[in-house]
Structure 1
Amino acid sequence: MATTETAPRRPLDAGPPPLVADPAALRAVLDGPHAAVRDEVRDRLADQSAILDESADLTRAELRERVRDLVVEFGAQGHAALGFPPEVGGGGDIGASVAAFETLGYGDLSVLVKSGVQFGLFGGAVLQLGTRRHHDAYLADIVAGRLLGCFAMTETGHGSNVQELRTVARYDAGTDEIVVTTPDDSARKDYIGGAARDGELAVVFAQLEVAGERHGVHAVLVPIRADGEVLPGVRVEDCGAKIGLEGVDNGRLWFDDVRVPRGNLLDRFAEIGDDGAYRSSIDNPDRRFFTMLGTLVQGRVSVGGAGLSASKVALEIAVRYGLRRRQFEAGTPGEETLLLDYGMHQRRLLPLLARTYALSCAQQEVTRQLHEVFSQDTPDADERARRSLESRAAGTKAVLTWHASETIQECREACGGAGYLSANRFAALKADTDVFTTFEGDNHVLLQLVAKGLLTDYSSEFEDLDQFGMVRFVTGLAVETVIERTAAHQLFERIRDVLPGGRDGWDQEAGLLDPDYQLAMLRFREEHQLAGAARRLKAGVDAGTPSGQVFREVQDHVITAARSHVERLVLESFVARVRALPASPTRDVLTALSDLYALSTIEADRGWFLEHGRLSAPRSKAITREVSALLRRVRPVAGELVAAFGIPPEALGAHDLVGPPPADISG
């Protein structure tokens, strides 16, 4: 049986052996347990790739129609149904559903986003917030693309603060109907995908009022079109031109006392009974609200995965261009140097490539947790696991979508002026992914959710705490409680004892390639920052400062700690994935990428580590030398590393830049 223990390191003076990369073996690692599903979607992308070339020449109306047809086709093929229950024609596999959606991100992103709205948000809300009668009435048509809908949550005046939405759903006992009303323009539903053109049914989030009493935000099904015509009482406005995603029909919705049957309330967590009384299985309104939203976490996982796929497209284009394009003489008359042979070009692209592999492992882990939690009899069967999932999904989505923005921009610049041509995909990639950093939650707000989980340890009070409640909760603890919860400083000391050379070996370069050292560095940073944020929160309240002001003053520290936490989780996922592999050339390649990701992350924040006594100046320089050595080691297999993404050539596009696959992709 193959061993999964860490392979011994070669002595520094011997030099590491050349890496040998097999794209098929690497793809198996990246694709994870749903490789077959990903391959099916790859085949469909190859067949539908014409839209990448056509979209620039189509009018907005024509593009939206083309995107709609592809989304309906995606549903008819059964890929959209993978995460839905078998009884409505689904596959009952949430992990497969996320994998299919991620892979769709290699193609046109308007198709991806409209699919996400239709099957993930709209269909997901009916599935997770509705009950059997809603499932029987709607889901089969939704997952097959026969009933198109939209997810009407965001309002002009309220985006991230969903709990304070102002649309009202008032129960009229006299007619046994729910009356949905937009009280003013700030409460209009805004930026709603599917609203402007194709949506027939909307899941509308509104303040539910029964017998004059407000019960918080609930979801109600409201028809908005029939036979292509907007229904009475509903007003629709197109959002107009956007930065990108012009194939998605974003619109605004107003409801002028629109009446729907009482049964249109999605009532999994609360109902209006036949007697007109409101009842809920969750008494606390805050807990009920967060439980409802928590069931929709798949959207965040999927958006993060889509950003990751877009990053892979950009990297494959830029790396392959760097393996073809030559610039300036290399020393031999008449022979110019490949771009990727320049150290600066390697610095620009290869750390991003290593991070992409690391993030792929982190995305697989959050997808595994999503599948595990929602495969239980009820999604709230394990409260702590559900809260941990919500936090991890929020943080992973944030770092994945920020990574997409950074990677696509760097890759565009690395392709020079040629990268500025629309035909070479960067224009669409930049424009279409830009919204991902705020779609499904603004990234900074999501990191506040991560921090709340870290500071409160998912206590029983977790759901009841807004940002001010979090301040009060933390200040009720001894700061040492926060530190002892994870005890990074103790871990750091333990790791020192097991490094090569013992405690004296801590300052030797051999330790740089020890994943335990790398993890200890990231864990120490995270937990030092977390304890510092807790101290600042406590000191502010102890000084008599109002909770809101305390939070505003400490918010940057809170978000910094949360981001450090996510970066540590990403490295943990990557290290665990590599350690689980048997000794092989593929494991050697992934080990080098893991080292590159870890050390480039530490290098990027070396100022913090120097300030806090975890790096000496000589060791900081040693990290830079090691990163440079890793770049040179990874460079010969860069072509194989991007080939492992498995992006169909037809979907990749950018023919001016990548051309046909070179005979010798190692350069």
Structure 2
Amino acid sequence: MPPVPAAVDPDTLTSLLDGRWAGLRADIRAEMAAAPYRDPIDLSVEEHRSRVFDQLTALAANDRAGLGFDKAYGGGSDIGGSVVSFEMLGFGDLSLMVKAGVQWGLFGGAVQLLGTAPHHERYLRRIRDLDLLGCFAMTEHGHGSDVQHLRTTATYDPDSGEFVVHTPDRGATKEYIGNAARDGRVAVVFAQLTTQGETRGVHAFVVPIRDDAGAPAPGVTIEDCGPKAGLNGVDNGRLSFDQVRIPREALLNRFGDVAPDGTYSSPIEGDARRFFTMLGTLIRGRVSVGGSAGSATKRALALAVRYAELRRQFATPDGEEVVILDYLGHQRKLLPALATSYALHFAQEELVAALHDITDDAPEQEQRELESRAAGLKVANTWHATAAIQAAREACGGAGYLAENLLPGLKADTDVFTTFEGDNTVLLQLVAKGLLTEYKDAFQNLSPLATVRFAAERVLGAVAERTSARKVVDRLTDGDDREALFDRDWQLKLFEDREQHVLGGVADRLRKAAQDPFGVFNAAQDHVLRAGRVHVDRLVLEAFVRAIARCTDPDAKALLERVCDLYALANIEADRAWFLEHGRLSTGRSKAVIAAVNTLCGELRPHARTLVDAFAIPEQYLAAPMLS
């Protein structure tokens, strides 16, 4: 294992971090650095909303507002670039990122991805230019994650050629809708489509919610959600509809259409399959939220590391006060979190590239895998943001609690990221469900013969797994502890082995689900969630390893190898109970993992400033008084 270099140019790391869209990132940084900026620390809700709208208008004046739209409608046909643009906005006021995401990502994206050419021609250019401000009205008061059972209705009336959109009860009120309370004129409303007396599942409709003067449209009730814990620059509101009539053409009909006489047609057989195909096209928002959470986390860690290199506390015997980043306890607060941010960045970069490159005619399995990866990384990014920003706040003591030092705002604004664009617990179940598809034949056919065959296969698999695990433990037992722990192949094998074991255990427990589907699943839910989480951990580590392989600078590569070690070993340390219980680590080697993490923190401490400077966050976004 080569020694950590004495110094690394942060620009070298920035080049690797910026990756495929390096030019776009550089352009955005330059614009961010040149524009006047001040965090919304002392603004009222209305002042904050007004400022964010002005900033949104400024964004609309450049070419990036429509990057994700087709060139035919004034866009850039650059899906990846549009997601990277939202990610970069995460370095600043997150209300602006969310507002932009609602307008161009959710509202515009729904029109683009669920609509057809007439919708594109009528709306996309206007959406890009802010001539048409809109909302994405999916979540309801009574149904958030369970989108398939939304209660808003859209009933087709063949006599008038119109859909009648209606909110049947309070539980069907559209809740927490960005852009609704103040600025939105139109909403893409998700509702249960009924035609010829038959309900065909959830579809999306373009519904005007305000007239040209800004008053609520006839039959539309708009309420302001009011002040929130964070993101108060976003005008979240509630929408309900009382027999609102819209033309038949308002249906976004890419996946399902209604003829003038009410006949329903769809290129996809089955309401359930059509529903999940429709939702699968709308993952850009989920990917953008994960990336933006990552940017906010990097900002928090940059603030905390800079402060930790300035703040002194307690004296050594020679009387000199110690810089707090020299304390191991402080290093452990910040450096493993910093390593995780690097790991998640590289995994996010691969995800954005996959989203950009996938085609409409890609095999369904490839599309499902992309959706699963997007869900898993959104979970990992946002939960990491919640934990790391809290750690950064604590690491700055009382200074970190002052609004002027930015960390409280980051904490408040990112808190909801764990539950919007998909509740993290539900998303992890989605990840696990995708992983379990390989067992579906055993689940679907529970005849005695199939059950015996399944059990026999699992026994053989368990024997092979135990043999593999024994080899892993033996690798640790033989030779130098440090050498074994820092062996990258061993780290990768341990992550893979954990995933396979957990997933196999879930499959065993769910095999009896046909007898009591809800009861069996509910009893195994903790196991299901762990399967999703350890799968994501493995993907993230592998992405980090691939990124290091792309690094051509030997000093930067050596530093990143250590950062990757810290990510892997801190993850193993956090899950030592599982590794011990399942024979993957001996007690002695488990203690060695703790010592290795301590060693890595000490080795990386001189490079902490380099690692955060490599994020290349414009300086004005780090202008906290505690750093002056």
TM-score (norm 1): 0.89
Q: Which residue of 2 aligns with 1:445?
A: 426
Name the stretch that deviates more: 58-67 or 384-393. Answer: 58-67
Aligned partner of 2:371 in structure 1 is: 390
* 1:330, distance to aligned residue in structure 2 (A): 2.8
Q: How far does residue 489 in structure 1 lie from its aligned partner after superposition?
A: 2.9
- Provide the secondary structure at the position in 2 that maps to 1:64: helix
1:154 to 139, 142, 146: 139
Superposed counterparts of 1:235-314, under 5 Å: 235-314=221-300
Query: Counterpart of 2:328?
Result: 343
Q: Deviations over 1:299-333 (max 9, x none)?
A: 11100001100100100000000011111113333
Q: Report if aligned partners of 2:469, 2:584 keep a CA contact under 8 Å in 1.
A: no
Please give the secondary structure, in 1, of the residue aligned with 2:132. coil
1:327 aligned partner: 313
Instruction: Tell me the distance in 1 between the aligned counterparts of 2:480 and 2:427.
Output: 37
Cα distance 1:225–1:503, how it changes in 2: closer, same or farther (>3 A)? closer
AA at the equivalent of 1:124 = G
Q: 2 CA distance for matches of 1:205 and 1:19?
A: 57
- The 1:458/1:439 distance shift into structure 2, 3 A limit, reads farther
Cα pair distance change 1:260/1:72, threshold 3 Å:
same
Q: Which residue matches 2:454?
A: 478
Task: Tell me the residue number matched to 2:394.
Answer: 413
1:530 and 2:503 equivalent? yes
Kindly provide the amino acid, as one letter, of the partner of residue 112 in structure 2. L
Q: What whole-Å deviation, never above 9, does each CA across 1:54-73 have from its counterpart, x for those lacking one?
A: x2333212211111121122
The amino acid of 1:593's aligned partner reads V
Task: After TM superposition, give the deviation of residue 18 of structure 1 in Å.
Answer: 3.6
Residue 141 of structure 1 and its aligned partner are, at CA, apart by: 1.1
How far, CA to CA, are the matches of 1:146 and 1:458 in structure 2? 50
CA displacement, residues 219-267 of structure 1 (integer Å, 9 cap, x when unaligned): 0000111222211111000011111111100000011111111001000
Query: Closer, same or farther in 2 for the Cα pair 1:278/1:470, shift >3 Å?
Result: farther
Q: 3-state SS of the aligned residue for 1:202?
A: strand
SS in 2 for 1:65: helix
- Cα drift, residue 481 of structure 1: 6.0
For each residue in 1:585-624, what CA deviation from the matched residue of structure 2 results, as whole angstroms up to 9, or x when unmatched?
0101110000010011101111111111111111112211
2:13 maps to 26
**8 A contact 2:472–2:584 mirrored in 1:** no
Asked if structure 2 preserves the Cα contact closer than 8 Å seen for 1:220 and 1:264, the reply is yes
Counterpart of 1:132 in structure 2 is 117
Deviation of residue 493 (structure 1)? 6.2
Deviates more, 1:624-633 or 1:116-125: 624-633
Task: Say which of 597, 604, 614 aligns to 2:567.
Answer: 597
| TM-score of the pair, normalised by structure 2 | 0.95
Residues 470, 584 of structure 2: 8 Å contact kept:
no
The match for 1:166 among 148, 151, 164 is 151
Secondary structure of the structure 2 residue equivalent to 1:140: helix
Preserved CA contact (<8 Å) 1:22 1:640: yes
Task: Confirm or deny that 1:102 pairs with 2:87.
Answer: yes
- Would the aligned equivalents of 2:469 and 2:583 in 1 still touch at CA under 8 Å? no
Q: 2:627 aligns with which of 631, 638, 658?
A: 658
The secondary structure found in structure 1 opposite 2:154 is strand
Task: Assess if the C-alpha contact under 8 Å between 2:432 and 2:532 holds in 1.
Answer: yes
- 1:248/1:596 Cα in 2 relative to 1: closer, same or farther (>3 Å)? same
Q: CA deviation at 1:506?
A: 7.0
After superposition, what is the alpha-carbon deviation per residue over 1:606-654, rounded to whole angstroms, capped at 9, x for unaligned? 1111111111111112211211111111111111110011111112231
Aligned match of 2:410 in 429, 433, 447?
429
- Classify 1:480/1:219 alpha carbon distance in 2 versus 1 (closer, same or farther; 3 Å): farther
How far 1:47 sits from its partner (Å)?
Answer: 4.2
Which shifted more, 181-190 or 508-517?
508-517
Q: Within 2, Cα distance between the matches of 1:627 and 1:641? A: 17
In structure 2, the residue corresponding to 1:203 is in which secondary structure? strand
SS of the counterpart of 1:368?
helix
How far apart are 1:90 and its partner, in Å?
Answer: 1.1
Which sections of structure 1, spanning at least 5 residues, go unmatched? 1-8, 11-15, 462-467, 660-667
Query: More deviation in 244-253 or 450-459?
Result: 450-459
Shift, 1:280, TM fit? 0.4
CA deviation vs aligned residue, 1:506-532 (integer Å, no higher than 9, x gap)? 774312111110011111111111111
* Paired letter, 1:616: S
1:202 maps to 2:171: no
Residues in 2 aligned to 1:479 and 1:314: alpha-carbon distance in whole angstroms: 49
* Between 347-356 and 380-389, the greater mean CA deviation after superposition: 380-389
Change (3 A) 1:336 1:479: farther
Q: Does 1:37 align with 2:13?
A: no
Which 10-residue stretch deviates more, 171-180 or 223-232?
223-232
1:416 CA drift (Å) = 0.5
Counterpart secondary structure, 1:225 = coil
Q: Distance in 1 between matches of 2:478 and 2:421?
A: 46
Report the AA paired with residue 85 of structure 1. Answer: D
Between 391-400 and 73-82, report the one with greater CA deviation: 73-82
Shift in Å at residue 488 of structure 1? Answer: 8.3
| Partner AA of 2:24 in structure 1 | V
AA aligned opposite 2:228: K
Q: Aligned equivalents of 1:254 and 1:568: distance in 2?
A: 43
- Give yes or no for the alignment of 1:567 onto 2:537: yes
Deviation at 1:41, TM superposition (A): 2.0
Paired amino acid for 2:502: Q
For residues 39 and 449 of structure 1, the distance between their equivalents in structure 2, rounded to whole angstroms, comes to 35
The alpha carbon displacement at 1:537 in A equals 1.7
* CA distance, structure 2, for counterparts of residue 235 and residue 483 of structure 1: 60
Structure 2: how far apart are the matches of 1:141 and 1:534? 49
Q: Secondary structure at the match of 2:145?
A: coil
Q: Tell me the SS of whatever aligns to 1:478.
A: helix
Change (3 A) 1:81 1:485: farther
Q: How much does 1:407 deviate?
A: 0.5
Question: Aligned partners of 2:48, 2:33: CA distance in 1, in Å?
Answer: 19
Q: Distance in 1 between matches of 2:512 and 2:464?
A: 22
Greater Cα shift, 28-37 or 201-210: 28-37
Which of 465, 469, 481 is the aligned partner of 1:489?
465
Please give the alpha-carbon distance, in whole angstroms, between the structure 2 residues aligned to 1:278 and 1:540.
35
Instruction: Report the more deviating stretch, 209-218 or 623-632.
Output: 623-632
Mapped to 1, the partners of 2:234 and 2:453 lie a distance apart of: 48
- Give the secondary structure class of the aligned counterpart of 2:616: coil
Classify the secondary structure of the residue corresponding to 1:400.
helix
Indicate conservation of the 8 Å contact 1:106/1:652, yes or no.
no
Change (3 A) 1:614 1:344: same
Specify the SS of the correspondent of 2:269: coil
CA distance in 1: counterparts of 2:307 and 2:427, whole angstroms: 35
Q: CA deviation at 1:457?
A: 3.6
1:243/1:532 CA distance change after superposition, 3 Å: same
- Structure-2 change in CA distance of 1:175 and 1:451 (3 Å): same
Count of residues in correspondence between the two structures: 625
SS at match of 2:164: strand
> What displacement does 1:51 show?
3.9
- Describe the shift of the 1:616–1:584 C-alpha distance in structure 2 as closer, same or farther (beyond 3 A): same
In structure 2, how many angstroms separate the alpha carbons of the residues matched to 1:599 and 1:315?
20
Find the aligned partners of 2:535 and 2:460 in 1 and give their Cα distance.
Answer: 16
5 Å matches for 1:497-516? 505=478, 508-516=481-489
Change (3 A) 1:298 1:460: farther
Q: CA 1:469–1:363 in 2, change beyond 3 Å: closer, same or farther? A: farther
1:130 and 1:268 in contact (8 A); partners too: yes
SS in 1 for 2:478: helix
State whether residues 19 and 589 of structure 1, in contact with CA within 8 Å, keep that contact through their aligned partners in structure 2.
no
Which whole-Å CA distance do the structure 2 matches of 1:62 and 1:458 have between them? 54
Q: Indicate how the Cα distance of structure 1 residues 450 and 257 shifts in structure 2: closer, same or farther if over 3 A, else same.
A: same
2:554 to 569, 575, 584: 584
Contact 1:49 1:107 (8 Å CA) reproduced: no
- TM-aligned CA distance change 1:476 to 1:409, over 3 Å: farther
